[in-house]
């Protein structure tokens, strides 16, 4: 090696400046608690992450998760680069001729049952996609963290926390893909198929954890009209999607069976729901204690009857 090359190797390389973009005037494709998705042009979109909790380091880890999922056959788009959007960070994706499923539902309510079946079929495929152990995080860790945060906030006694941990420990270990945020704003419809735009919180585990996360959106949040306000989907439409989704996913038309399946999923969903009320800054303090009191009473009445499905 020449002396010049040796010198060049010893000189620290400057990191490429991060590109800055604006989403002013861009079409909003979807929005959730973690960020918003905008169309930049005919071939690219950007996911803008909200707030300081989404650090640059975390977003880079999320890009690696996206790459790992894509290589394994999960229908997600390739990321181009990380950008600065005002005070926030964003990730640019290739996305040609696509709209969010939320937009499609609002535009074509007559296709509600068809979209519900697409959601079920896509999730079934994901829940049968296996990864090597350790490639993605264990999805149980998120549940355990929800319990820890709730207890730290003073809303679980030690013996109550132990009962919830026992419930989580009873969920079988699996190395199958779990998305954990499978709502219409994160699902893009491209060429008649669902493609994932957000796999940031994805992990490996049992499907009950994905189904519990969906319940928080399609049932709990829909009843409060929070998700309806964000996307324009009504709570009646969410209820229809949830019902048709369960029937397709679990291959049953028995109303009693569907009701029992939904009850079990709701039970697991309450782990994250209670944590959310216990820690969210958007919940008024005077409401926090009474709401959690009623939630916990319902949860612990049903906890012993819960079991992982499917």
Measured CA to CA, the distance from residue 233 to residue 66 in angstroms comes to 27
Measured CA to CA, the distance from residue 308 to residue 172 in angstroms comes to 8
- Of 120, 215, 126, 137, the closest CA to residue 173 belongs to 137
Q: Enter the pTM of the model.
A: 0.83
CATH label of the domain that carries residue 58: 3.30.200.20
**Is the separation of the CB atoms in 307 and 260 below 8 Å?**
no
Q: Is 7 domain-assigned? A: no
Same domain, 160 and 277: yes
In three-state secondary structure terms, 193 is strand
Q: Is 14 domain-assigned? A: no
- Taking only the tens of pLDDT, the chain with its 310 residues reads 555 555 455 555 555 678 899 999 998 887 766 788 888 888 888 888 887 667 777 777 777 777 778 778 888 877 778 898 988 888 888 776 778 898 899 999 999 999 999 999 999 999 999 998 888 889 999 999 999 999 999 999 999 999 999 999 999 999 999 998 898 888 888 888 898 877 777 899 999 999 999 999 899 877 765 544 456 888 899 999 999 999 999 999 999 999 999 999 999 999 999 999 999 988 888 999 999 999 999 999 999 999 999 8
Same domain, 39 and 106: no
* Residue that terminates a domain, selected from 61, 77, 97: 97
Q: Is 39 domain-assigned? A: yes
Q: Is 156 domain-assigned? A: yes
* Residue that terminates a domain, selected from 45, 66, 97: 97
For residue 53, give its domain range: 19-97
Q: Is 161 domain-assigned? A: yes
What angle do the packed helices 255-279 and 158-169 form, to 10 degrees? 130
Q: Is 65 domain-assigned? A: yes
Query: Length of the chain in residues, anyone?
Result: 310
Q: Is 12 domain-assigned? A: no
* Number of domains present in the structure of the chain: 2
């Amino acid at each position: 090696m020449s002396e010049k090359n040796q010198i060049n190797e010893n000189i620290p390389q400057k990191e490429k400046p991060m590109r800055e973009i604006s989403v002013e005037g861009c079409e909003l494709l979807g929005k959730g608690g973690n960020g918003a998705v905008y169309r930049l042009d005919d071939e690219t979109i950007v996911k803008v992450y909200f707030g300081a909790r989404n650090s640059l380091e975390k977003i880079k880890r999320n890009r690696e998760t996206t790459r790992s999922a894509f290589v394994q056959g999960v229908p997600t788009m390739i990321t181009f680069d990380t950008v600065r959007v005002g005070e926030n960070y964003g990730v640019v994706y290739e996305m040609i001729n696509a709209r969010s499923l939320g937009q499609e539902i609002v535009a074509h309510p007559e296709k509600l049952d068809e979209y519900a079946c697409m959601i079920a079929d896509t999730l079934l495929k994901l829940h049968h996609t296996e990864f090597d152990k350790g490639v993605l995080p264990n999805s149980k860790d998120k549940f355990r963290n929800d319990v820890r945060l709730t207890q730290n906030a003073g809303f679980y006694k030690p013996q109550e926390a132990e009962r919830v941990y026992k419930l989580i420990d009873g969920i079988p270990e699996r190395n199958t893909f779990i998305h954990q945020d499978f709502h219409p704003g994160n699902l893009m419809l491209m060429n008649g198929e669902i493609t994932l735009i957000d796999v940031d919180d994805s992990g490996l585990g049992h499907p009950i954890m994905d189904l519990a996360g969906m319940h928080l959106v399609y049932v709990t949040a829909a009843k409060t009209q929070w998700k309806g306000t964000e996307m324009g989907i009504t709570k009646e439409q969410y209820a229809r999607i949830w019902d048709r989704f369960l029937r397709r996913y679990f291959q049953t038309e028995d109303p009693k069976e569907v009701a029992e399946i939904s009850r079990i999923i709701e039970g697991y969903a309450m782990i994250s729901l209670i944590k959310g009320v216990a820690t969210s800054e958007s919940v008024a303090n005077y409401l926090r204690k009474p709401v959690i009191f009623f939630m916990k009473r319902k949860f612990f009445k049903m906890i012993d009857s819960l079991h992982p499905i499917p």
